[in-house]
Amino acid sequence: MDLSQKIADYGADAVRFYARMAKLDYDNEVREEFVSSWIARKLFENDGLTVHVEREYTRIIRDLKNEVTSTDISSMGGWRADIAIYGPDGSPLSIIEVKICDEGDRGGTAVLRDREKINVLSKRVKIDTYLAILLTDINDTNK
């Protein structure tokens, strides 16, 4: 399974669906929470994967049979993975952080922040990580 391609395909589907559903003028108005939930739902329905949305990093550490330390709590206590994929044995296999950026976004600070979160977790435990950056068109979708 090419998980990267599935994330991209399901994320693009989510953006298109939400923009149509909410009658948005611009697809950069789509909510990341919706996209994350849509991707998680599709990974479950189409691919049979066990997924969690907004899963705490400290819970993921614990689910990987590691003790959560005070350092973990202070460094990542409030952080959540947008999507966490679990294996048949109940162990986390990978996490996905989702960011929506429009083609005019030059800052990228939210992307860099999520990348740093992933780095901190990856240094602590062995887990596959994905950063799904959905670059949206800022053209009017209703024209």
* β-pairing verdict for 128-136 and 92-102: parallel
Distance CA 79, CA 76 (A): 5
Classified as helix, coil or strand, 101 is strand
Q: Is pLDDT of 96 > 80?
A: yes
pLDDT at 142 over 60: no
Task: For strands 128-136 and 80-86, give the pairing.
Answer: unpaired
Average pLDDT over residues 102-117: 76
Q: At what angle do helices 32-47 and 3-21 cross, to 10 degrees?
A: 130
Q: What is the pLDDT of residues 27-72, one digit of tens each?
A: 788 999 999 999 999 999 999 999 999 999 999 999 999 999 999 9
- Residue 138 burial (CB < 10 Å; 0-12/13-18/19+)? middle
**8 Å CB contact between 73 and 27:** no
d(CA 18, CA 3): 22
| Residue from 116, 65, 64 nearest 94 by CA | 64
Q: What is the rounded distance in angstroms from the CA atom of residue 89 to the CA atom of residue 12?
A: 30
Contact partners, residue 49, CB within 8 Å, separation at least 6? 43, 85, 86
pLDDT for the residue numbered 25: 85
Q: How confident is the model at residue 105 (pLDDT cuts 50, 70, 90)?
A: low
Distance (Å, rounded) from C-alpha 29 to C-alpha 46? 26
Question: For position 107, what pLDDT does the model report?
Answer: 53
